[in-house]
Amino acid sequence: AMPVVAIVGRPNVGKSSLVNRILGRREAVVEDVPGVTRDRVSYTANWAGRGFILQDTGGWEPDAKGMAQSIARQAEHAMRTADAVVLVVDGVVGATATDEAVARVLRRSKTPVLLAANKIDDERMEAEAASLWSLGLGEPRPVSATHGRGSGDLLDAILEAL
Ligand code: GDP
Ligand code: MG
């Protein structure tokens, strides 16, 4: 069976945009009004000749009660069922309390976890991503889902972790 890579994180950080970037086509629903992605949606992806299943997650309103818990539950599900987990955070906003709560869950993971700092649209913003070392998930990998910066390096790291 193909390995499963699960993408988790808060609403609006760019998970679905990153999924589209990896797929090389627009399938995941990107919305300025978050909360449109169903709980879990799987796509077949390919990088460097290797096939894998890419799982987009979502489905919460940004200020909904229990949002942090829902994301933590998604993260736990991903830890148990996926072969690699990518936590996406907004690299411009930095780590929020919700990101920290989810990172706490993922730090216990035996499944490899990668940290993507999204919305790093140009080189000058890369320094901001470095503050995300504080999440305790290793090296923050700066990416821009909409511009494509860093996505190849992130994919290489994902495949290396599988
Ligand atoms: P999700 O809720 O985590 O799936 O986030 P979406 O992929 O739906 O994106 C939420 C918003 O962030 C949309 O308006 C996107 O266009 C925007 N966005 C996503 N990735 C980037 C990025 O790399 N840079 C910038 N500037 N905006 C982004
Ligand atoms: Mg989404």
Would you say 10 is a known binding-site residue? yes
Instruction: For residue 147, give the CATH number of its domain.
Output: 3.40.50.300
Selection from 108, 104, 120 nearest residue 153 by Cα:
120
What is the CA(111)–ligand 2 centre distance, in A?
Answer: 22
> pLDDT value at position 23?
96
Q: Which residue is closest in CA terms to ligand 1's atom 26?
A: 119
Atom in ligand 1 nearest the alpha carbon of residue 56 = 4
In this structure, is the dihedral angle defined by the CA atoms of residues 62, 35, 55 and 71, taken in order, positive or negative? positive
Return the best residue to mutate from 8, 10, 12 for the ligand 1 pocket (most ligand atoms within 8 A of CB): 12
> pLDDT value at position 84?
98
> pLDDT value at position 131?
95
Which residues does 58 contact at the CB level (< 8 Å), separation at least 6? 11, 15, 16, 34, 35, 36, 37, 38, 39
Would you say 15 is a known binding-site residue? yes
> pLDDT value at position 110?
97
The number of residues making up the chain comes to 162
Would you say 99 is a known binding-site residue? no
| Rounded Cα–Cα distance for residues 108 and 142 (Å) | 23
The domain total for the chain is: 1
> pLDDT value at position 61?
75
Confirm or reject: Cβ of 74 under 6 Å from ligand 1.
Answer: no
Return the best residue to mutate from 30, 38, 141 for the ligand 1 pocket (most ligand atoms within 8 A of CB): 30
**What are the mean pLDDT values of the chain's consecutive 10-residue runs (162 residues total)?**
96 95 90 67 95 91 83 94 98 96 97 98 93 97 98 98 96
Question: pTM higher than 0.80 for the full model?
Answer: yes
> pLDDT value at position 37?
64
Range of the domain at 143: 4-161
